[in-house]
Amino acid sequence: MSPTAADRDEEKRTLEDKAGTETGTITAGSSIAEPPQEPQEEHEHVPDGGREAYTVVLGASLALFASAGMVNTYGAFQDYYEATLLPSSSSSSISLIGSLQIFFLYFIGTLTGRVFDAYGTKIMIPLGTFICVFSLMMVSLCQKDQAYQVFLSHGVLFGLGIALLFNPAVAVLGHWFRKRRALAIGLTTGGSASGGVILPILLERLIPAVGFGWAVRIVGFVLLGCLIISCLTIRTRLPLSGHISWRTAIDFGGFKDPRYALASLGAFLLFYGFFIPYFYIQIYANFRGVSPHIAKYLLAIMNATNVPSRILPGYVADKVGPLTVFIPAAAICSVLLLGLWLPSHNTASIVAFAALYGLFSGAFVSLLPTYIASISPREKLGARLGSVYMVVAVASLVGTPTAGALLSKTDEAHFRNLIIFCGALSVAGTVVMALAGIVGSPTLRERLGGWCGVRHDVSAPEVLKKVEDV
């Protein structure tokens, strides 16, 4: 080879080395891949704290205080409606009013999730604020034994209002938190539990003093103050799409993921019975002869112990994973329903059940969206949350009226059937959520691979099929 050709080859190798250095390209055997990743990491930076992020948490907590907090208060309304305002209506019909609130809260999430992805919270939070406060003013004007008035104002209208508040208040946290997302959602859902503590006590104290109408109006003004703060503090951070495609309001693509499909089925079973104790614990206490001075605070006790169970599990879930906390909490609730509530006949056991069920059931609300967020693409998070909340909506709509139908007569046998039904649903939901954890765990998947004869690199759907075959 001539010197000139060698020089040309050397110059070519120098230029190639320089180009590789500038572009960050690597060979197949190289382990250096940092340069091309830096822009992506910068783009995906999430604050995970700071004043702005926790200001959003404050606003979201107050939004849930006013929306889901009022749902958690419905047990107090149920007792008043049955005894005073709607004495001619059945327990099942009255519970339908409360379950309608839950249905709209979750079902409309299939639409509000897509609106949130497109426009954020600037429309829905103010509109939801107006509807919630207006509906309570209408409830305060309802007349005795006019069930349709309560049905329309407290069931339909109020349900639509809280639906515009709940899903956006939870989904916006994904813009501000990643590693601490479970803690942020726990703090936010703790707001709904706090509402369930303060609002029923406020209502119980105000009704004898100023009457039902003014008691509800005062509660409405309290919610107005909370929601004004929410309107001022809740804001998005990430770019929004700016357009809505209703065909993708429900992200059916998520159900192709067996983890998402199993979590949705588990959520359906768990939430079918989740609200039954909240609606009927006060009525059960009255049946067992518990002092009225204690019975009327059982719902507040249940919601008070609910507060730490929505915050602490989120903190732990950030470290060990949401299902690692969710599944044991659901299992404990199953034990409490069948092992404590079913045989309870005195004040001590009923109060113990109310406190312990509230303590462990709060994880359902805070960790379900946390788990869905952990397995969903961020740009589809609102729609994925909306889809799973649609499933929860149907379960919540039929759950408490089913309980009311089982309790067609307030006696020992009918209450036993109601509690066994609720406990069986909890057990079934726990098993399904455990299966979702098995399918989604690489370690367990590897063990199942060896057990079932499946390759360790197979996809989750293939593993699920093998598990079902076994």
**pLDDT confidence band for 356 (50 / 70 / 90):** very high
Q: Give the pLDDT of residue 449.
A: 55
Q: Give the pLDDT of residue 445.
A: 59
Q: Give the pLDDT of residue 443.
A: 67
**pLDDT confidence band for 442 (50 / 70 / 90):** low
Q: Would residue 277 be called left, alpha or beta, if left means φ above 0 and alpha means ψ between -120 and 50 degrees?
A: alpha
Query: Distances from the Cα of 403 to the Cαs of 182, 278, 280, 298, 361, in angstroms?
Result: 32, 12, 9, 19, 18
Q: Give the pLDDT of residue 421.
A: 95
Average pLDDT over residues 94-105: 89
- What are φ and ψ of residue 229, in 5° steps? -65, -40
Write out the two tokens for 469. Answer: 């075959």
Average pLDDT over residues 112-138: 89
pLDDT of 110 higher than 80 = no
Higher pLDDT, 428 or 372: 428
The sign of the CA dihedral 177, 175, 358, 265 is negative
Q: Give the DSSP per-residue string, 67-114.
A: THHHHHTHHHHHHHIIIII-TTS-HHHHHHHHHHHHHHHHHTHHHHHH
Distance, in Å, from the CA atom of 27 to the CA atom of 3, rounded to the nearest integer, reads 29
Q: Give the pLDDT of residue 30.
A: 35
Average pLDDT over residues 210-236: 95
Q: Give the pLDDT of residue 344.
A: 92
Query: Is 397:272 a contact under the CB 8 Å cutoff?
Result: no
pLDDT of 26 higher than 70 = no
pLDDT of 33 higher than 50 = no
pLDDT of 417 higher than 60 = yes
Higher pLDDT, 223 or 292: 223
In this predicted structure, which of 50-59, 115-124, 196-205, 223-232 has the lowest mean pLDDT? Answer: 115-124
**pLDDT confidence band for 456 (50 / 70 / 90):** very low
This prediction has a pTM of 0.73
In this predicted structure, which of 13-27, 70-84, 118-132, 365-379 has the lowest mean pLDDT? Answer: 13-27
pLDDT of 470 higher than 50 = no
pLDDT of 37 higher than 80 = no
pLDDT of 126 higher than 50 = yes
Average pLDDT over residues 302-327: 84
Distance, in Å, from the CA atom of 216 to the CA atom of 426, rounded to the nearest integer, reads 33
Distance, in Å, from the CA atom of 333 to the CA atom of 65, rounded to the nearest integer, reads 23
Average pLDDT over residues 149-162: 94
Average pLDDT over residues 147-151: 94
Please state, rounded to an integer, the average pLDDT across all residues of the chain. 81
pLDDT of 70 higher than 60 = yes
**pLDDT confidence band for 215 (50 / 70 / 90):** very high
Average pLDDT over residues 369-380: 81
Distance, in Å, from the CA atom of 44 to the CA atom of 113, rounded to the nearest integer, reads 21
Average pLDDT over residues 232-241: 84
Q: Give the pLDDT of residue 35.
A: 37
Q: Give the pLDDT of residue 2.
A: 44
pLDDT of 462 higher than 60 = no
Q: Give the pLDDT of residue 314.
A: 74
pLDDT of 164 higher than 60 = yes
**pLDDT confidence band for 19 (50 / 70 / 90):** very low
Q: For helices 347-374 and 298-320, give the axis angle rounded to 10 degrees.
A: 40
Q: Give the pLDDT of residue 246.
A: 65
Higher pLDDT, 457 or 259: 259
